[in-house]
Chain A
Amino acid sequence: DTAVSQTPKYLVTQMGNDKSIKCEQNLGHDTMYWYKQDSKKFLKIMFSYNNKELIINETVPNRFSPKSPDKAHLNLHINSLELGDSAVYFCASSQDSEAPETQYFGPGTRLLVL
Protein backbone atom coordinates (compact mmCIF):
# COMPACT_ATOMS: atom_id res chain seq x y z
CA ASP A 1 0.00 0.00 0.00
CA THR A 2 2.90 2.34 -0.83
CA ALA A 3 1.70 5.91 -1.34
CA VAL A 4 4.23 7.03 -3.95
CA SER A 5 6.30 4.42 -5.73
CA GLN A 6 9.11 4.72 -8.25
CA THR A 7 10.88 2.23 -10.47
CA PRO A 8 13.65 1.44 -10.77
CA LYS A 9 15.29 2.18 -7.44
CA TYR A 10 18.75 2.01 -8.98
CA LEU A 11 19.75 2.72 -12.55
CA VAL A 12 23.27 2.41 -13.91
CA THR A 13 23.74 3.21 -17.57
CA GLN A 14 26.17 4.47 -20.18
CA MET A 15 26.45 8.01 -21.51
CA GLY A 16 24.28 8.61 -24.53
CA ASN A 17 21.60 6.10 -23.60
CA ASP A 18 17.91 6.89 -23.19
CA LYS A 19 16.16 5.83 -20.00
CA SER A 20 12.83 6.21 -18.25
CA ILE A 21 11.82 6.34 -14.62
CA LYS A 22 8.27 5.52 -13.64
CA CYS A 23 6.22 6.99 -10.81
CA GLU A 24 2.81 6.09 -9.47
CA GLN A 25 0.80 7.48 -6.58
CA ASN A 26 -2.29 5.91 -5.05
CA LEU A 27 -3.26 8.89 -2.89
CA GLY A 28 -5.69 10.39 -5.37
CA HIS A 29 -3.62 13.58 -5.53
CA ASP A 30 -4.01 15.98 -8.40
CA THR A 31 -0.42 17.21 -8.61
CA MET A 32 2.81 15.32 -9.17
CA TYR A 33 6.43 16.46 -9.29
CA TRP A 34 9.88 15.41 -10.33
CA TYR A 35 12.89 16.54 -8.32
CA LYS A 36 16.61 16.11 -8.88
CA GLN A 37 18.86 15.89 -5.84
CA ASP A 38 22.57 16.14 -6.46
CA SER A 39 25.46 15.05 -4.28
CA LYS A 40 25.26 18.30 -2.32
CA LYS A 41 21.68 17.41 -1.33
CA PHE A 42 20.14 20.41 -3.08
CA LEU A 43 16.55 19.59 -4.09
CA LYS A 44 15.83 21.04 -7.49
CA ILE A 45 12.29 20.91 -8.80
CA MET A 46 12.21 19.88 -12.44
CA PHE A 47 8.54 19.61 -13.29
CA SER A 48 5.16 19.83 -11.68
CA TYR A 49 2.03 18.55 -13.33
CA ASN A 50 -1.62 18.52 -12.45
CA ASN A 51 -4.77 17.82 -14.35
CA LYS A 52 -4.67 21.19 -15.94
CA GLU A 53 -1.13 22.16 -16.60
CA LEU A 54 2.44 21.02 -17.00
CA ILE A 55 4.85 23.47 -15.42
CA ILE A 56 8.36 23.18 -16.70
CA ASN A 57 11.43 24.52 -14.95
CA GLU A 58 13.15 26.35 -17.75
CA THR A 59 16.58 25.46 -16.47
CA VAL A 60 15.94 21.77 -17.15
CA PRO A 61 17.48 20.57 -20.45
CA ASN A 62 14.95 19.48 -23.04
CA ARG A 63 16.52 16.01 -22.94
CA PHE A 64 14.23 15.53 -19.95
CA SER A 65 10.57 15.03 -20.74
CA PRO A 66 7.74 14.17 -18.36
CA LYS A 67 4.88 12.02 -19.53
CA SER A 68 1.63 11.61 -17.65
CA PRO A 69 -0.69 8.91 -19.00
CA ASP A 70 -3.17 9.65 -16.21
CA LYS A 71 -3.52 11.50 -12.93
CA ALA A 72 -1.83 8.74 -10.92
CA HIS A 73 1.29 8.42 -13.05
CA LEU A 74 4.09 10.78 -14.00
CA ASN A 75 7.02 9.22 -15.79
CA LEU A 76 10.34 10.85 -16.60
CA HIS A 77 12.13 10.12 -19.85
CA ILE A 78 15.74 11.17 -20.32
CA ASN A 79 17.42 11.22 -23.72
CA SER A 80 21.14 11.14 -24.44
CA LEU A 81 22.21 10.74 -20.83
CA GLU A 82 25.21 12.75 -19.65
CA LEU A 83 27.58 12.29 -16.73
CA GLY A 84 26.04 15.31 -14.99
CA ASP A 85 22.67 13.60 -14.93
CA SER A 86 23.93 11.31 -12.18
CA ALA A 87 21.80 12.12 -9.14
CA VAL A 88 18.85 10.89 -7.13
CA TYR A 89 15.50 11.61 -8.77
CA PHE A 90 12.46 11.89 -6.53
CA CYS A 91 8.86 11.79 -7.55
CA ALA A 92 6.33 13.47 -5.25
CA SER A 93 2.63 14.20 -5.14
CA SER A 94 0.33 16.60 -3.33
CA GLN A 95 -3.27 17.71 -3.27
CA ASP A 96 -3.28 21.38 -4.14
CA SER A 97 -6.74 21.97 -2.81
CA GLU A 98 -5.73 20.86 0.68
CA ALA A 99 -3.91 22.97 3.23
CA PRO A 100 -1.24 22.58 4.32
CA GLU A 101 0.06 21.41 1.01
CA THR A 102 1.99 18.35 2.07
CA GLN A 103 4.18 16.66 -0.48
CA TYR A 104 4.61 12.91 -0.34
CA PHE A 105 7.86 11.69 -1.83
CA GLY A 106 8.69 8.41 -3.46
CA PRO A 107 11.78 6.44 -2.35
CA GLY A 108 13.94 7.92 -5.09
CA THR A 109 15.76 6.53 -8.14
CA ARG A 110 19.53 6.57 -7.92
CA LEU A 111 20.86 7.20 -11.40
CA LEU A 112 24.52 6.70 -12.20
CA VAL A 113 25.74 7.56 -15.68
CA LEU A 114 29.10 6.06 -16.63
Chain B
Amino acid sequence: GQSLEQPSEVTAVEGAIVQINCTYQTSGFYGLSWYQQHDGGAPTFLSYNALDGLEETGRFSSFLSRSDSYGYLLLQELQMKDSASYFCAVRAISNYQLIWGAGTKLIIKP
Protein backbone atom coordinates (compact mmCIF):
# COMPACT_ATOMS: atom_id res chain seq x y z
CA GLY B 1 0.00 0.00 0.00
CA GLN B 2 0.88 3.65 0.10
CA SER B 3 1.71 5.28 3.40
CA LEU B 4 3.72 8.01 5.07
CA GLU B 5 5.22 7.57 8.53
CA GLN B 6 6.17 10.30 10.95
CA PRO B 7 7.05 10.25 14.65
CA SER B 8 3.98 11.07 16.71
CA GLU B 9 5.78 13.53 18.95
CA VAL B 10 9.09 15.38 19.12
CA THR B 11 10.35 17.54 21.98
CA ALA B 12 13.00 20.23 21.65
CA VAL B 13 14.34 23.26 23.46
CA GLU B 14 13.77 26.87 22.45
CA GLY B 15 16.62 28.11 20.28
CA ALA B 16 17.67 24.62 19.23
CA ILE B 17 17.36 22.76 15.93
CA VAL B 18 14.92 19.91 15.37
CA GLN B 19 14.36 17.51 12.51
CA ILE B 20 11.03 15.85 11.78
CA ASN B 21 11.32 12.79 9.58
CA CYS B 22 8.89 11.42 7.04
CA THR B 23 9.42 8.01 5.48
CA TYR B 24 7.13 6.77 2.79
CA GLN B 25 6.03 3.72 0.88
CA THR B 26 4.60 4.73 -2.45
CA SER B 27 5.48 3.75 -5.96
CA GLY B 28 5.76 7.27 -7.23
CA PHE B 29 4.68 10.76 -6.32
CA TYR B 30 4.91 14.28 -7.61
CA GLY B 31 6.57 15.87 -4.61
CA LEU B 32 6.70 16.02 -0.82
CA SER B 33 4.85 18.80 0.98
CA TRP B 34 4.93 19.95 4.58
CA TYR B 35 2.13 21.65 6.48
CA GLN B 36 1.99 23.25 9.91
CA GLN B 37 -1.07 23.21 12.15
CA HIS B 38 -1.37 25.05 15.44
CA ASP B 39 -3.85 23.79 18.02
CA GLY B 40 -7.29 25.00 17.09
CA GLY B 41 -6.12 26.22 13.71
CA ALA B 42 -6.09 25.01 10.13
CA PRO B 43 -3.15 23.40 8.33
CA THR B 44 -1.00 25.90 6.44
CA PHE B 45 1.51 25.16 3.71
CA LEU B 46 5.19 25.33 4.67
CA SER B 47 7.33 23.87 1.90
CA TYR B 48 7.49 21.56 -1.09
CA ASN B 49 10.23 19.35 -2.55
CA ALA B 50 9.76 18.23 -6.13
CA LEU B 51 13.37 17.16 -6.54
CA ASP B 52 15.90 15.56 -4.25
CA GLY B 53 17.83 17.93 -2.07
CA LEU B 54 17.32 20.74 0.36
CA GLU B 55 14.83 23.59 0.05
CA GLU B 56 15.31 26.49 2.43
CA THR B 57 12.74 29.06 3.52
CA GLY B 58 13.96 31.19 6.36
CA ARG B 59 14.31 29.14 9.54
CA PHE B 60 12.63 26.16 7.91
CA SER B 61 14.24 23.73 5.46
CA SER B 62 12.90 20.59 3.86
CA PHE B 63 14.81 17.71 2.37
CA LEU B 64 13.88 14.86 0.03
CA SER B 65 15.72 11.74 -1.02
CA ARG B 66 13.65 9.61 -3.38
CA SER B 67 16.26 6.87 -3.47
CA ASP B 68 15.99 6.52 0.31
CA SER B 69 12.19 7.03 0.41
CA TYR B 70 12.79 9.66 3.01
CA GLY B 71 12.30 13.31 3.70
CA TYR B 72 12.53 15.65 6.63
CA LEU B 73 11.60 19.10 7.86
CA LEU B 74 14.32 21.01 9.67
CA LEU B 75 13.43 23.85 12.00
CA GLN B 76 16.21 26.10 13.24
CA GLU B 77 16.36 28.67 16.03
CA LEU B 78 13.20 27.21 17.50
CA GLN B 79 10.68 29.64 18.90
CA MET B 80 7.78 28.88 21.21
CA LYS B 81 5.40 29.77 18.39
CA ASP B 82 6.77 26.80 16.41
CA SER B 83 4.91 24.49 18.81
CA ALA B 84 2.43 22.84 16.46
CA SER B 85 1.73 19.67 14.54
CA TYR B 86 3.60 19.11 11.30
CA PHE B 87 2.27 16.95 8.46
CA CYS B 88 4.02 15.56 5.43
CA ALA B 89 1.96 14.78 2.33
CA VAL B 90 2.41 13.47 -1.21
CA ARG B 91 0.23 13.06 -4.28
CA ALA B 92 0.58 9.60 -5.75
CA ILE B 93 1.22 9.42 -9.48
CA SER B 94 -0.67 6.13 -9.88
CA ASN B 95 -4.11 7.34 -8.83
CA TYR B 96 -3.54 11.05 -8.14
CA GLN B 97 -4.72 10.53 -4.58
CA LEU B 98 -3.38 12.58 -1.71
CA ILE B 99 -1.59 10.72 1.03
CA TRP B 100 -1.00 12.36 4.40
CA GLY B 101 1.23 11.40 7.28
CA ALA B 102 -0.37 11.15 10.71
CA GLY B 103 1.39 14.30 11.87
CA THR B 104 4.14 15.05 14.36
CA LYS B 105 3.39 17.10 17.43
CA LEU B 106 6.35 19.37 18.16
CA ILE B 107 6.68 20.38 21.80
CA ILE B 108 9.09 23.18 22.58
CA LYS B 109 10.37 23.76 26.08
CA PRO B 110 11.88 27.02 27.30
Contacts and interface: CB of A to CB of B under 8 A. Distances in A.
A101 B90 CA distance: 10
A104 B37 CA distance: 12
Interface residues of B, number: 22
Interface stretch (A12-20, A41-49, A65-73): A41-49
A90 B40 CA distance: 12
B31 A42 contact: no
A55 interface: yes
A65 to B, nearest CB: 20
Tell which of A33, A92, A102, A106 has the most Cβ of chain B within 10 Å. A102
Interface residues of A, number: 21
Contact of B31 (A40, A92, A99, A103): A99
Interface in B65-108: 85, 87, 91, 96-98, 100, 102-103, 105
Contact of A100 (B48, B85, B96): B48
B100 A107 contact: no
A106 B44 CA distance: 10
B50 interface: yes
B110 to A, nearest CB: 24
Chain A to chain B: the 7 pairs with minimum beta-carbon distance, closest first? A100-B48, A105-B42, A102-B45, A43-B100, A105-B43, A41-B103, A42-B102
Interface of A: 33, 40-45, 48, 55, 90, 92, 99-108
